[in-house]
Chain A
């Protein structure tokens, strides 16, 4: 087939059908992005940090969920709670630091309190207002502490100690129900004993969040990674399956990675995660923008915070066992970072690829079809890891949440289904 002219270029290539591609506007359209924040990100459960980041009573972490500033604290009762990080008085951000402790007094407030530095209103670890400066003088009996508690958020600690938050008070599911079984593949490993975060860094890249999720969801792109080609690409690699779960989550099946095939790398056997077979690699692509990657000796978690249609912040965490000795921890870090660290062999390649991918899908670019139509089967007729069922499963859920058809976002989901059936 020679290169195509404009008319040919606009046609669906080959015999691919609706549902085997998406329209590139879902990666670049500002209105669609705004809808995603409202219809998806502000409605679902999101892991925001790990319990080891809140080691003691009065520890806190701050973050952003669907553009809302969020504060997570560990109370004197050891319970972890989440609130909007917003003072109910004048809307100031209550805490600006990324982490810390409220145990000591702040310049404007008392120990063991969350204090707004602006006018010194104070709150306890349960979000109750504890003090309004010159309350009676200013408000007489018109406003009291009981009227101005913090906005509490639903919060759970689940799956290896991750702290999950939702802005949606009316969410009808627990985290476990929302996961719909997607964690079954690694829950035993995650919950065997306490975990601890040893690695954190972030990337803010010119890329739609879904392109990063796509990349985590499809392994056809292992041609990008020299490391994965030499340590994988054997029968057991291809025999892995993408398995879809309710709510758009996907598991990528495990196989034994041949780490020593990459020069300078070593087996992860010595520090295998509990219950994980030696050098195996389990993965969960969690809807809409989270990834859990349990690989030999280290757990990686990516949490995406979409910042615009072509901008996303990805927070990368690496976790090991809390009981690690310093030597074990250093080895675990080395295993994690040699592949997934900011100077590792694979992460840089993935980040490079998705930014150059987004570079062709700017807001002013013509719409085009982005394919995920591989139905690759092995000799027995079973799907291989290069079958793109994972992405198709994600976009089914995305279409339903958005009531848009991913292949033509001007159609409703129902209209798209009808067109697909036709």
Chain B
């Protein structure tokens, strides 16, 4: 398979992951991830001048986290992202790829405050970049790492969900 074809499949996988995350289909999202998958939400704070890791874990940790969601009280307002894949670099010899995408996550209020007044209102929740690593297995890209690098640091209520 040519580099171009692999790159196209990587792009498709990133967009597929965006749809899964938008629709809170956690199992489907994790189905796109390798067994060795590592996930982290990070941000740099210019207040304390530190690189911070807000959330991280391996695939098994993310499975546990998402399976535990029904036990927790959460803001269930949908989060929809606009993702644009900027770069895809394929290493055919190693059967790996890396990609950088930009994302904006919009929150459409549902039950987070007063649903009668606010439900249906959309606001920007997060801005940042996805820095993804892939392993190519039988021509199919699987996420081996996703670093969610947030620009947004005023996070208000935050979220229980992977971004």
Contact = CB atoms under 8 A, between A and B. Distances in A.
B45 interface: yes
A344 B57 CA distance: 12
Interface string B147-163: 00000011111111101
A262 to B, nearest CB: 8
30 contacts: A53-B47, A99-B46, A198-B48, A200-B50, A203-B155, A205-B156, A206-B113, A224-B73, A263-B68, A264-B64, A264-B68, A334-B53, A337-B53, A337-B54, A341-B158, A343-B55, A343-B163, A344-B55, A345-B160, A347-B158, A348-B158, A348-B160, A351-B157, A351-B158, A352-B74, A352-B157, A353-B73, A355-B113, A356-B114, A359-B114
A203 B156 contact: yes
Contacts of B159: 342-343, 348
Interface string A180-223: 00000000000000000111111111100000000000000000
A260 interface: no
Contact of B47 (A98, A204, A330): A98
A98 B50 CA distance: 13
Nearest to B52: A199
B57 to A, nearest CB: 8
A97 interface: yes
Interface in A107-123: none
B75 A348 contact: yes
Complex A-B, nearest 4 residue pairs according to Cβ-Cβ distance, in ascending order: A342-B158, A342-B155, A264-B64, A343-B55
A358 to B, nearest CB: 8
Contacts of B65: 264
Given A53-B49, A263-B64, A343-B54, 9 more contacts: A198-B50, A200-B50, A201-B45, A224-B73, A337-B54, A343-B163, A349-B72, A352-B157, A356-B114
Interface string B88-130: 0000000000000000000000001110000000000000000
A333 B51 CA distance: 11
B73 to A, nearest CB: 5
A351 B161 CA distance: 15
Interface residues of B, number: 36
Contacts of A53: 47-49
B74 A226 contact: no
Interface of B: 41, 43, 45-50, 52-57, 61, 64-65, 68, 71-75, 112-114, 153-161, 163
Contacts of A99: 46-49
A377 to B, nearest CB: 29
B154 A203 contact: yes
* Interface of A (DSSP majority class): mixed
B54 A349 contact: no
B68 A200 contact: no
B76 to A, nearest CB: 10
A59 to B, nearest CB: 9
A200 B43 CA distance: 10
Which of B55, B65, B72, B158 has the most CB atoms of chain A within a 10 A radius of its CB? B158
B26 to A, nearest CB: 14
Interface string A321-343: 00000000010011001100111
A280 interface: no
A337 B55 contact: yes
B113 A97 contact: no
A61 interface: yes
B53 A330 contact: yes
A307 B113 CA distance: 18
A105 B93 CA distance: 50
A53 B57 CA distance: 28
A342 B153 CA distance: 9
Given A224-B73, A226-B72, A355-B113, A204 B154 contact: yes
Interface in A256-289: 263-264
B114 A201 contact: no
B49 to A, nearest CB: 6
B46 A97 contact: yes
B158 A226 contact: no
B46 A202 contact: no
A224 B56 CA distance: 24
A365 B55 CA distance: 38
B147 to A, nearest CB: 14
Nearest to A343: B55
B68 A341 contact: no
A212 to B, nearest CB: 12
Interface string A66-101: 000000000000000000000000000000011100
A202 B158 CA distance: 10
A297 B124 CA distance: 34
A351 B156 contact: yes
